[in-house]
Structure 1
């Protein structure tokens, strides 16, 4: 199954998906699939779609939370970093690496 074919299938199953959501889900589903031909089966496609949607939603939530923490951290000004601020930065790096892994299906940090 090609990217275009998968995008069409997703739109058939859920016509209300935005073009951006279709593109994201298509990329994630194909990256996670060992054999794209398996996605011809509706049950397999729906399972892969739900998995990709869950991963995307959870990563988006994490990203929003960390972005809020970083925004608060930036408001502190250029002072010495406290241990709590360093933990915020480390969490931000970890979340960004998870987002990269989500889209590329490759470990971002080793």
Structure 2
């Protein structure tokens, strides 16, 4: 289920948190997992998340290319439960949301 109606931080923050749930990842790996995101937006979002204390940015030990890993900080990990509750809510109410959106769109074709 990709629907995620509640925004935490920026548009991509929750998706980045989920990508980092299993452990640290490099920028390129995050970008591949979040295909529609541009490199610029990913970099800006990661910087904002680092500023908020949600992620840590660390050099990759022994990497010749100066690679950087991003990992969830303890504060970022606290979002995992919030995100799961929001996803459960979306699953439980998806049909209702879809009907409401279809009704609105039919009544407001210019929107």
Please, what TM-score do these two structures have when normalized by structure 1?
Answer: 0.30
Q: Which has the larger radius of gyration?
A: 1
More contact order relative to length (CA 8 Å, sep ≥ 6): 2
More helix per residue: 1
Please, what TM-score do these two structures have when normalized by structure 2?
Answer: 0.29
